[in-house]
Structure 1
Amino acid sequence: MRLAKLLAIFSITVIASGCSWFGGDEVEAPDLPEQELYQDALEMLESENYVVAIEKLQLLEARYPFGTYSEQAQLELIFAYHKNYEPEAAKATADRFIRLHPNHENIDYALYLRGLTAFEKDRSFFEKYLPIDETQRDPGSALDSFNSFSTLVSRYPNSPYAPDAQKRMVYLKNRLATYEIHVARYYVKRQAWVAAANRGRYVIENFQETPATPEALAIMSLAYTQLGLVDLAADAQSVLDTNFPGYQANIEQAKQESLLNTATFGLLGSSNEPEQEKVILPSEAEQEETRSWFSRLTFGIFDDEEEQEK
C-alpha cells in the first residue's frame, strides 16, 4: 500500500515537471516602464516589424490604460493594423478611438487611417496586377472609405491629410457612380424600368460631375419612356441634350441584348450591336477557309499537332 502511494506521488511529480518542461508554466513578461515599452513599440514600427509592434502596443494599452502614452499608442495601433493588412482590426480600433476621444487633437489622423484602410481593403494582389474591373464589385468598402474621407474634409478642412483625402474621394465617387450604372444597365436588360430609373436618379442626385452622369440621364429618359411618364422622360432628355450635346447613349443596346447573350459573353443569343468588319489579308483569308472548327475553338493552339497528324 505504501509502495502504491509512493508510485502515485512519483507519477504526479513527473507529470507536473513534464508540463513545466514543455511550456506549461508561462513566463510573464517583465513589467517594463511605460515609456520604455512605448519606445520599443516605435522601434518595431520603424523596422516594419508590425506583428511585434502590435503585441507591444496591446501590452502597453493593457498595463497602462490611463498612462501618458495611452492615447498615442491607440493611434499607433491603428497604423500597425493597417500596415499589417488587418483591415477589420484597424477599423474597429479607429472607431473606438473616435468614440472615446472625439475632441482629440489627432482625430483627423484617425479618420484618415480609417478611410485609407477601407480604401485599400479590396485591393488584393490580383486587382493590383490584373485588369479586373473593380467598379462591378460590391462597393461596401468604397462607400465606407468615402464617408470617412468626407467626414475628415468637412470637419477638418485644414488638416494636412485633407488634400490626399479629397483626391481619393474623386476616385471613389467615380467608382461608386460607375457601379450604379452597371446595376442600372442590368435592370434595363431585365426591363425593370422603375428600378433602372431610380438608379439613374440616384447617380444624378449623389454623384454629379462624374463621367457616369450622361449615361444616368440616358437611362432615366429610356426608363421613363417605357413607363409612359412622358414629361419626366422629356426632362431627362432635355438635361442630357443641354449639358452633353451630341451624346450617343448605348443604353438601347443593353435593352435589346438577351440574357443568354450576356451569360455567354456574346457567343450565343441575339445582339443588335453592329459587327465590326474584320480586315483580313489574302493569305489570312485562305487560312481562315481551311481552318477546322477545333482550330477555331482552341484559337489555333493545337494547329501544329493537327498538321503533324495530317
Structure 2
Amino acid sequence: MAIGLSTAILFTGCADSNYDPTKDWSNDKLYNEAKDEMAAGGYDKAIGMYEKLEGRAAGTPLAQQAQLDKAWAQYKTNEPVQAVATLDRFIKLHPASPALDYALYLKGLVNFNDNLGLLSSWAEQDLAERDPKQAKESFEAFRELVVRFPDSKYAADARLRMAFIKNSLARSDVHVARFYYQRGAYVAAINRAQTTVQEYRDVPAVEEALFIMVQSYDKLGLNQLRDDTKRVLETTYPNSALLYPERAVTKKSWWKFWK
C-alpha cells in the first residue's frame, strides 16, 4: 500500500512539473502576458511565452510579431547570438514583411551594442581595439536597411551608426599601425596606415593614419615621402592636434553622442 501511495505521489509530481498554465490561454492573452513580462523586465519568461506563441499562431502576423519581440528580449538579456539567429530566421522566412526594416535595424543594433557594450562606455574603450567582425556585420545590416528602405523611420539612426562603425573600423587599422610603429616595424606601420587612407578616406581616423606614415617615413630616412605625406596631412587637417599639440581641443567621448 505504501509503495502504491509513493508511486502515485511520484506520478503526481511529474504531472505537476509538466503543467503549462498557459495551455488554455488564447493567443492574444498569451501575447499580452508576454508583453507585460517584457515591461516588468521578465525577459526570460517573455521569451518562453513568445516561443509558445510562435508555435500556436504559426503563419499569422501575431507569430511574426512574437518572433521579433523574442529577438528584442534576447538582445535585452545579453544573448546576441540567439537574437541574431532569431532575426536571421525572420528575415529568411518573411522577406516581404512590413517589419523587415525593423528586423534589419535590430540585427544591426544587436551587433553594434555587443561590440560597444556598457562596460566599454564606462572604461571609454575604443571598438577599434576589439575584434571588428561583429562591427562589420552590424554595418552590413544597417547598410542593407538604408539601401532597401531609405525612407524607413530607422534609416536616419542607422546612417549615424554606420558612420561611427566606419570610423571605428578605420581606427582598428590605425591601432594595428600604431602597434607596428611602437615596435619599430615601420614598413608594416606604413602599409597598414595606407590601407586606412585608401579605404576610409572620409573618416577622422585618417588623420592619425597620415601622422603614423609621416613618423614612419622619418624613421626610415625617407624624407621626400615624409614631407609629401606631411603636406597632405596639413592640407587635409590644417589644425591637426597631432602636428600641433597646442591646438588640441578636448573632444566629447563618442558614446556620449548616443546618450
TM-score when normalising by structure 1: 0.66
Deviation at 1:108, TM superposition (A): 0.9
1:41 correspondence with 2:34: yes
Residue equivalent to 1:80: 73
- Relative to its length, the structure with more helix (as a share) is 2
Match for 1:20 among 11, 29, 36? 11
- C-alpha contact 1:34 1:67 (8 A) present in aligned 2: no
Q: Determine the C-alpha separation between the residues in 1 that align with 2:225 and 2:149.
A: 40
Per-residue displacement from partner, 1:18-54 (whole Å, max 9, x unpaired)? 4235446522441433333223323333444322221
1:52 correspondence with 2:51: no
Report how many aligned residue pairs link the two structures. Answer: 241
- C-alpha contact 1:57 1:73 (8 A) present in aligned 2: yes
Match for 2:84 among 68, 86, 91? 91
Deviation at 1:247, TM superposition (A): 4.7
Structure 1 residues 68, 219: closer, same or farther in 2, change over 3 A? closer
Q: Determine the C-alpha separation between the residues in 2 that align with 1:248 and 1:67.
A: 58
Alignment gaps of 5+ in structure 2: 244-259
Residue equivalent to 1:285: none
Q: Determine the C-alpha separation between the residues in 1 that align with 2:188 and 2:97.
A: 44
Q: Determine the C-alpha separation between the residues in 2 that align with 1:174 and 1:196.
A: 18
1:62 correspondence with 2:55: yes
Question: Which fold has the larger relative contact order, with Cα–Cα distance below 8 Å and residues 6 or more apart in sequence?
Answer: 2
Per-residue displacement from partner, 1:153-182 (whole Å, max 9, x unpaired)? 222111101111122223223322222211
Residue equivalent to 1:120: 113
TM-score when normalising by structure 2: 0.77
How do 1:238-253 and structure 2 match up within 5 A?
238-245=231-238, 247=240, 249=242
Match for 2:178 among 174, 177, 185? 185
Deviation at 1:230, TM superposition (A): 8.4
Structure 1 residues 18, 34: closer, same or farther in 2, change over 3 A? same
RMSD: 3.1
Alignment gaps of 5+ in structure 1: 1-6, 251-310
